[in-house]
Amino acid sequence: MTNKHTSKASSIDDSLLVTPNNIHGMFFKVGGDVATANQFFLTDSTKHFLRGALYFDATPNEDSLGIVNNFLVEDMRHIINTFKWLSVYLSRIKHLFITGKLPRMIAIDNKLISDEVIQEQFVCDLNKCKGGCCEDGDAGAPLEDWEKKEIVQYLEIVKPYMTPAGIAEVNKQGKYLYDREFGWVTPTVNGEICAYGYRDEKGIIKCSFEQAYNDGKIGWKKPISCHLFPIRVSRSKKDPDLEYLNYEPRQDLCSAACTLGEKLKVPVYVFLKESLVRKYGEAFYEELSAIAAHINTKSTIRAADIEHRRKINFNISRYNNVVPQGKQQFIDVMTVRQRAKNAKWLAIENLDKNLEQFESQITARGAKVLWAETAEQALEEIGRICKEKQCKTLVKSKSMVTEEIHLNQYLESNGIESVETDLGEYIQQLDGEPPYHIVTPAMHKSKEDVARLFADKLGTPPNLTPEQLTLVARHKLREKYVQAEVGITGANFIISDIGAVAVTENEGNGRLSCAWPKTHIVIVGIEKVIPSLNDLALFWPLLATFGTGQKVTVYNTIIAGPRQTTETDGPEEMYVILLDNGRTNLLKNPVTREALYFMALLIVVLSAA
């Protein structure tokens, strides 16, 4: 059965959607020839953390799937919130690339709004469409549960506005009926026009309830599903609290409305202001309007930046060239990816036991394990340790968890110099910018940009080569390693059975950050746990291949505690902060728990043939 407000293909479950028009996803798009510029903004709002635009090559293939990981981080304070949405939409990435449809998602509270709601333009042209959406399909308008009471309350008052055929169908079918696919709906006449609809003298279909409302006779306008058209609201079957708002005009019926909207330059959400406010309130609409303004401003600037596009294209092309080479090390990628998924599933399903085993093992070798339920608790623990050690300078290797909790800002506010030691992060820190990309933080900068930055900030000649620039950074950073009282690293993996953390890198700065200062602090999300040391033989090559196209990264380190009595180097003290910050909330929800092994699942998608 089809419906005048939706189609059979667009019924929601948390599996692959079957039509490009109905794909919902975490990616942002802008049309035209800007298909390879990359932006993925994470804002500091808990209500809407996605703002911006993410663009991809218009001719997707297996290798271009890797571009999914290229995103610009504007603010990662609430990055964990994104895992909820990432987990819901991960299964759709493959379909997204197969179809070439690159949708955008806007998240406000528990609502996901498709990009077309703010990007597309629409104004109903009833003189041309004649209200045809009200008779398209063989099921009536979807009803909210509370709307059934409104129909019962006002039906007798509305009947004078109805057609005899409509009244007859209501008497025959009932005031509303249940459809297995769409839930409660209004009855129809001959499976076409809504029983509560009628045609005026111009042949335009009108709603009897709306006319009675306009005449001041009733207090309910019409079903919200009708009022919101061409937006369709649906709910996830696995998570009923999760609502999808999708722009779904009928191409055959709504072409005139799209044309008029473009002529008048009225976005869909502006045209539907009354209905959106009616359903979600003024605050929601103001939030949506602010996001729309933000997205349009950011995307307009980036879309017009040809030089930015060139740099991103160059760096992405390098990635696309090396990843296929790295994948050749696997005889059967399908088997490897399944094993990775299974290992992470096993780790997460036994998360409590794995973490307790890790704590028991690593504390036996002198490390101290601290459990942080929130970002604030993690910052407090780091601040306490730094105060005890009278820390003035701290070196830090690249860590997305420290971006998540805004560690640099916290340390700066406490008078502690925090120095990024990863070359890309160091460049971004000099420029006063957050990391652009999770693997290559300065991927949007050319070598000329970096040379100019070093000349401005460090007083070097403006024409240095990349090799010379690297040597300058190396010299500056070596001084900081010597000065620093504390070193902070993240961890790629928490190894449960031996009680250790594993760090993989290409520059050696992670080793220097953890080994040279007298105090080493590891801060890591609890989802990074793996059951056994043996699992590294699986995960390290996968991580290297799909991160940088290497068979294995240059430096792979297992850290199992502070310097032991039989050792000559390493930190005197080691702290491991296990960060929750909302992760256990994901764990207890069967829909979102997969996000806790998101990285393994992402590899599964990216390596799919």
Residues 384-399 pLDDT 10s: 999 999 999 999 998 8
Q: Are the C-beta atoms of 36 and 302 separated by less than 8 Å?
A: no
Do the beta carbons of residue 561 and residue 505 sit within 8 Å? Answer: no
Segment 75-96 shows an average pLDDT of 33
DSSP 142: B
pLDDT of 193 over the 80 cut: yes
* Dist CA 160 CA 156 (whole Å): 8
Mean pLDDT within 373-383 = 93
Question: What is the CA 53 to chain-centroid distance, rounded?
Answer: 11
For residues 501 and 493, the answer to whether their CB atoms sit within 8 Å is yes
Give the pLDDT of residue 102: 40
Task: Give the total residue count for the chain.
Answer: 609
Q: Which residue has the tokens 């199992």?
A: 560
Give residue 239's pLDDT band: very low, low, confident or very high (50, 70, 90): low
**In this predicted model, which residue has the larger pLDDT, 579 or 94?**
579
Our separate counts of H helices and E strands in the chain read 25, 22
Nearest to 68 by CA among 606, 609, 545: 606
Highest-confidence range of 61-75, 109-123, 434-448, 453-467, by mean pLDDT?
453-467
- pLDDT exceeds 50 at position 118: yes
Q: 224 with 275: CB under 8 angstroms?
A: yes
| Three-state DSSP state, 97 | helix
Burial call 560-581: b when 16+ CB within 10 Å, e when fewer? bbbbeeeeeebbebbbbbbbbb
120 versus 215: which is more confidently predicted? 215
pLDDT above 70 covers a percentage of the chain that reads 78
Residue 170 — pLDDT band, cuts 50, 70, 90? very high
Pairing of strands 243-247, 368-372: unpaired
> How far is Cα 191 from Cα 194, in angstroms, rounded to an integer?
8
Residue 428: is its pLDDT beyond 50?
A: yes
Structure tokens at 13: 């479950």
Q: Are 466 and 453 in contact (CB under 8 A)?
A: no
The CB density around residue 106, as the number of other CB atoms within 10 Å, is 23
Question: CA 52 → CA 40, 180, 268, 306, 320, distances in Å?
Answer: 6, 38, 18, 17, 24
More confident residue, 61 or 142: 142
Mean pLDDT, range 244-250, rounded to an integer: 82
| pLDDT greater than 50 at residue 99 | no
Q: Give the whole-angstrom CA distance, residue 132 versus residue 200.
A: 13
More confident of the two residues 65 and 502: 502
Point out which residues pair with 579 in neighbouring strands. Answer: 372, 525
User: What is d(CA 579, CA 575) in angstroms, rounded to the nearest whole number?
Assistant: 12
Task: Tell the residue number behind the tokens 């996830």, with chain if given.
Answer: 236
Do 244 and 24 meet the contact criterion of CB atoms below 8 Å apart? yes
* Close Cβ partners of 251 (under 8 Å, ≥ 6 residues apart): none
pLDDT(11) > 50 = no
Q: How confident is the model at residue 104 (pLDDT cuts 50, 70, 90)?
A: low
Q: Which helix (H) or strand (E) holds 519?
A: strand 519-525
